Amino acid sequence: MELLALLKALGFSLPSPAFFFGAVVFGLTGYTAYQWGTIAARETLKWIGAALMLLPLLCSTTWQLYAFGAIFCVLLATSRPAADAGAELAATEDGD
């Protein structure tokens, strides 16, 4: 118990349950986006996924975590593949 009091006096504290929940949710979302971007060969998804995974390490308050996490999730949801990606896929399917 003395160690906990010493750490608290030095400014270290455990994150709130809301921060921990957000870190887990955004981390898993980022990991999924990164894997999806790797499979689909889409660099934008990979970078957004990496940012979501690193977000809990960069934010010190809960409101920052949720604000930036929501922004990155909106970017993730609105990211579209290139316009010619469908044409390339159709061309490879016709060639088989």
Distances (CA, A) of 18 to 6, 12, 24, 76, 78: 24, 17, 10, 22, 26
The amino acid that residue 86 corresponds to is G
pLDDT, tens digit, 9 for 90 and up, residues 49-94: 999 999 999 888 889 999 999 999 999 888 877 655 555 555 555 5
- What's the confidence (pLDDT) of residue 41? 86
Tell if the pTM clears 0.75, that is, is over it. Answer: no
The rounded radius of gyration (Å) of the Cα atoms in the chain is: 19
Domain layout of the chain by residue ranges = 15-94
pLDDT, tens digit, 9 for 90 and up, residues 11-52: 777 778 888 999 999 999 999 999 999 898 888 899 999 999
